[in-house]
Amino acid sequence: MDGLIEEVAKLLANSKHAVVFTGAGISAESGIPTFRGQNGLWKRFDPEEVASIQGFMKNPKAFWNFARELILKTKAKPNAGHYAIAELEKIGIVKAVITQNIDMLHQKAGSSKVLELHGSLEFVDCLDCGKAYRWDDLIDKIERGEVSCDECGSPYLKPRIVFFGESLPKDVLSEAIEEAKKSDVFIVVGSSLQVYPAASIPFVAKESGAKLVIINVDPTDKDWLFDVVIYGKAGEILPKIVEKVKEYCHVK
Ligand code: NAD
Ligand code: ZN
């Protein structure tokens, strides 16, 4: 394990354009459950019902009932993994973070260039009258299970996240692909790489000649694509990598 950590630290120290790609796993140590996996939310909720655009248009209340589970996302705090990535940006090594997460924890940890492929929970829009809300201002209503528009009474309040069946924001996706093309080191952290088109982005980096690293608790069916595969927790592995990078780059 220590050998692999050193190998990744060397790749980073010698890189010109490192990019990090994250999934739900990086936020697991902040107390946010992943969707798949043992304690995943999809064991208790049907994603077709609560997280697809068709399900939402049929019954927005089912989403908001599920949304009680998401409140903890917006109350959670970044963990050592998020901070390590922010630090790598600060010392000039990581140029961008591409995330599938909607929890805003990278920004809270201090990362400034964050491409949110699936949107975030920051804002909620009324699909009928267009009034915009901040998620934080709706928390009482969500907890009481009474979410509707103050202005027009519509139940169709939709957070600015990408539901299953919706396409990704085009500009964010193309910027993420550009970053993957520019990258010379591309590190995936905490993603099962099952959700497309996000999961195709590491392939773009590989085709452009980047060295690929994956840090995950469990294996994925795409581990063969990667030059370095580390099984472990993001919050434990990433700070060790940062420590080594600083040694190699003589940063205090
Ligand atoms: P996923 O749930 O499919 O896979 C999570 C991966 O993280 C697994 O491979 C697991 O081995 C790994 N993992 C678990 N704990 C870890 C840890 N401590 N350190 C490192 N790795 C760990 O997640 P995904 O690939 O991101 O796909 C899920 C989809 O659901 C995404 O599209 C995302 O938008 C959404 N989602 C977001 C959040 C969030 O915002 N925090 C949480 C759950 C799901
Ligand atoms: Zn309205």
Could you report the per-residue pLDDT of 164-208, keeping only the tens digit for each? Answer: 999 999 999 999 999 999 999 999 999 999 989 999 999 999 999
The answer to whether the beta carbons of residues 158 and 125 sit under 8 Å apart is: yes
Q: Is 78 in the pocket of ligand 1 (CB under 6 A)?
A: no
Instruction: Tell me the CA–centroid distance for residue 216 and ligand 1, in Å.
Output: 9
Residue showing tokens 């949107």: 119
Active site residue 118: yes
Ion ligand 2: residues, CB < 5 A? 126, 128-129, 131, 149, 151-152, 154
Q: Is residue 140 a contact partner of residue 109, using CB atoms and an 8 Å limit?
A: no
For the entire predicted model, the pTM comes to 0.94
- Indicate if the pLDDT at residue 222 is higher than 80: yes
Nearest alpha-carbon partner for 22 in 129, 90, 105: 105
Q: Tell me if 159 CB under 6 Å of ligand 1.
A: no
Mean pLDDT across 53-63 = 94
